[in-house]
Amino acid sequence: MQIVFLGTSSAAPTAERGLSSIAVMRDGELLLFDAGEGMQRNFIKSGLGMNRKMKVFVTHMHADHCVGLLGLLQTMSLLGREQRLDIYGQPRLKEFLEENMRIINFGLTFEVAIHTIEKEGTVVQERDYQVTCCEALHSVPALSYRLDEFDRPGAFNVSAVKKLGIPEGELYGRLQRGNDIEHNGRTIRSADVVGPARQGRKIGISGDTRPTDKLIRFFSGCDLLVFESTYSHDKHAKALETLHSTAAEAATLAKEAGAKKLFLTHFSARYDETSALVKEASAIHGNVQAAEDMKAVDVPYP
């Protein structure tokens, strides 16, 4: 699993930072969280690929988080995308996309399925992972997202199985899936040749929000948390006014949630560089980095 930051500025882009967008590459599938205006340029530069299995999750209906979807869809069509694209967001997202696509009148070379999120909870559940959402606290209705991989089967002891004379094929698969088998008149227990289940990875993405107790619970135990830190602590009054967070508040929430690693993002354009915000957050949480446009981060298994 790898995270690629495609845009890390807040409402206004800067020369170094585009508007909000985060790509998560996992097992050949791309999960995209938000699509700020112009994000397709960094999408192309990153080499993520325009014609792969892909889902898009939008946190809220502010231009710096959703307007880039229009350009992304058109760019995908111009580059010949064929695979279906699934987009998830609040009810206004469907209206926004359908009306703008009607007005601009650009044709698509692929199917777009727009899924409306009506309540908190599970948004997508696949065979080996799920994406859930939680209400965020912002100036418009907003969501935070969490990606959880399900536990993987334990390590399969191939040498032990071979010593037992079990032929490769169906019996191997049954043991790996946790089923006991019968072979040559004896029972072979899966637990004897398969180790304990291995934890999957957990990633949280805040979108725009104030810190809340609900989000502390929602992000509990994340291996990596990406949380907005629009302002430094000296602009706390501004954060309260605009319903954003400071770097210190992001770090406090991450610490209380038990998140192992914190990435700060969504920086106000007033900050030419982010070392002061990282320093502020690092005084509270022991593992903090600042997101940068085009920065790629590997997410190892626990």
Annotated active-site residue in 34, 64, 208, 293: 64
Contact 34, 207 (CB under 8 A): yes
**Residue 269: other Cβ atoms inside 10 A:** 14
Residues paired with residue 24 on neighbouring β-strands, in sequence order: 3, 31
Tell me the C-alpha distance between 1 and 148, whole Å: 12
The two tokens of residue 35 are 């699509």
Report the chain's terminal Cα–Cα distance, integer Å: 12
Tell me the C-alpha distance between 281 and 285, whole Å: 6
Tell me whether residue 64 is one of the annotated catalytic residues. Answer: yes
Beta strands in the chain (DSSP E): 2-7, 21-26, 29-33, 54-57, 85-89, 112-116, 121-125, 129-135, 143-149, 181-183, 186-188, 202-205, 224-228, 261-265, 288-290, 296-298
* Degrees to nearest 5, angle at CA 139 with 138 and 145: 30
3-state secondary structure 202-268: EEEECCCCCCCHHHHHHCCCCCEEEEECCECHHHHHHHHHHCCCEHHHHHHHHHHHCCCEEEEECEC
Q: Catalytic residue numbers?
A: 64
